[in-house]
Homo-oligomer: A and B are copies of this chain.
């Protein structure tokens, strides 16, 4: 099998560039808030093979790319079909295109593209040519991201406000299609709405278009919506939608006897799917950008759902960009750390070492950036530095001085993750392990407050403010020792006077921690009230934010605009992760799922069943009040029921009475 080839990592650079420059509002271009690196324009690849006998070789480039082929010093113009002679064959392929993504396709027994071709980098380092499994046909063009399409039709049509409102029944993404066109050249104003209100409130609709009808079918650019309002009588054409998606076959499944929770799980899955595109997006209507903190959560959900490895790889590379780092990822201090941590978590959940080797080459510059931002006591600074954004959460309670505890917790976790990566690659992790220990000691020294019995946000302000964020990180990242863990649970987690988490973004961490400490009641209450609240309002995907006390169209407002809230936001898909990891209870206990445990927990349910994708297969779990049943495609697993442990044998079904 051959694959299209390009400059290593340029597929991601190119599509990230397009993605980050595609945001718009009411037709206006909305520029990215961070540096966007461009792909290379010149690519030279080479391969040397000693042939025993003559063979045919064919090479071509994609549309608009110039291609020079040099075989043993003899120059050919691409595309060309060349007979190679026995003996040493040294082939150089040089491509150029200004704009787009110069890419090369070859065929030949020993010289097919994607196999053993190397970048001739003019001294910039040795790398294999970039490829992607998606592009394995000579007819492909890697400039076009390879989505799948399915034609959908509106479930209702309503004549209103001198136009027609179409409802597609649920949030969708793709291209509005006009067919049966009887009015060539007609212009039709289009208003997309995630809500009915947004589509009809044409002066404020976020996403708009003007369709110019032409030919057999007219397809518009890809947009997300549930409703489409056309300011037209709609009598001389038909309307449909080409749903645009990544084809996946999710192995992650969950079902219980609580139909609302099943619905929540399914809507979470659909929410993630819509945001699974060139990379994991934040939301499918508005930014459609790649945010490292949002992506971090999507990765975990993905490990318990589709376990699509390439989208994690693509997202990671797209977030990184190229060359020297001069600002944090997405300009956010925490987002740099999530990027680092996620790389180790990727290996931990998937065992894909090849990708770690690839991305490792782009990690040292990230550490140079972090190093340039270190402040007193080895703490990461940032809030007061121009252009650095200390985010952590939207919470207004957080004290954001230059140095805050939550960022140090993330830095600690990053040190540990990087040490693991170094050791995985056969390098010395000792320096980063030492940095981690020193930092943990300083975190305890400067942020642990013996009176408050908790980590405070800042020692710089003198306010000794306690918030949940840093304390949740301290629980999740193994920073708090046993004694401190108990104190945190008592004085922060179970203390109603500490301001509650209110964003679905940080709920991911809070609920993760709650499960860790066994507060399953809190978690299932949140499922019912928070996610269940959106379901009751008719949500077909989960939202960027949800306040139970809001009414009607109030729900759709955000950032000072009536419909700016995203109603399909990836960070709200965490129930999949929580149910997989804590209800089905499947989780690795060592890297790459070499060992894992299944610790099922019925929580508030009468029975649960489902499966979790793992490297090399799935683990399926079925539990009710009397029986637990586990089937696994891989070895190394243990079923944990209370204080009892049962080995899970590969390929067999383990049944245990409770």
Contacts and interface: CB of A to CB of B under 8 A. Distances in A.
A34 B44 CA distance: 10
A29 B99 contact: no
Contacts of A25: 75
A121 interface: yes
Contacts of A363: none
Contact of A17 (B30, B35, B41, B125): B41
Interface string A308-346: 000000000000000110110001000000000000000
Interface string A52-81: 000000000000001110000001110000
A27 B68 CA distance: 12
A124 B326 contact: yes
B30 A122 contact: no
A77 B331 CA distance: 24
A68 B98 contact: no
Given A35-B42, A40-B38, A30 B68 contact: yes
Nearest to A76: B28
A524 interface: no
Contacts of A121: 35, 326
A38 B41 contact: yes
Choose among A25, A77, A95, A122 the residue with the greatest number of B CB atoms under 10 Å from its CB.
Answer: A122
Contact of A68 (B31, B67, B387): B31
A29 B125 CA distance: 25
B100 A99 contact: yes
A21 interface: yes
A44 B125 CA distance: 30
A36 interface: yes
A35 to B, nearest CB: 4
A535 interface: no
A94 interface: yes
Nearest to A331: B122
B36 A327 contact: no
A123 interface: yes
Interface in A118-164: 121-125
A18 B387 contact: no
Given A98-B100, A99-B100, A122-B34, A42 B21 contact: yes
Interface string A14-54: 00011001000101111110111011111010000000000
A29 B67 contact: yes
Given A98-B100, A100-B98, A326-B123, A38 B38 contact: yes
Given A21-B96, A36-B41, A66-B21, A77 B27 contact: yes
Given A42-B31, A75-B30, A326 B21 contact: no
Given A38-B38, A68-B29, A75-B28, A387 B122 contact: yes
Nearest to A26: B77
Contacts of A95: 31
B18 A98 contact: yes
Nearest to A14: B98
Interface string A630-641: 000000000000
A634 B564 CA distance: 66
Nearest to A41: B38
Interface string A100-131: 10000000000000000000011111000000
Contacts of A124: 35, 324, 326
Nearest to A97: B99
Given A100-B98, A122-B326, A36 B31 contact: no
B28 A98 contact: no
B42 A122 contact: no
A27 B206 CA distance: 50
Contacts of A34: 122
B42 A98 contact: no
A331 B124 CA distance: 13
A34 B327 CA distance: 30
A494 to B, nearest CB: 42
B323 A323 contact: yes
Nearest to A98: B99
Nearest to A77: B28
Residue in A27, A77, A323, A331 whose Cβ sees the most chain B Cβ within 10 Å? A77
A282 B36 CA distance: 35
A38 B98 CA distance: 8
A42 B99 CA distance: 13
Contacts of A29: 66-68, 77, 96
A40 B38 CA distance: 6
Interface string A494-509: 0000000000000000
Interface string A347-365: 0000000000000000000
A526 to B, nearest CB: 36
A121 B34 CA distance: 9
B122 A35 contact: yes
Contacts of A27: 77
A115 to B, nearest CB: 22
Contacts of A39: 38
A387 B123 contact: yes
Given A40-B38, A41-B38, A31 B94 contact: yes
A279 to B, nearest CB: 18
- A18, A41, A77, A94: residue with the most chain B Cβ atoms closer than 10 Å: A41
Ranked nearest first, the 7 interchain pairs of A and B with the lowest CB-CB distance are A99-B99, A123-B326, A31-B94, A35-B122, A123-B327, A29-B66, A28-B77
24 contacts: A17-B42, A18-B98, A21-B96, A21-B98, A28-B75, A29-B66, A29-B67, A29-B96, A31-B42, A31-B66, A31-B68, A31-B96, A32-B42, A35-B121, A35-B122, A35-B123, A38-B42, A99-B99, A99-B100, A121-B326, A122-B387, A124-B324, A124-B326, A323-B324
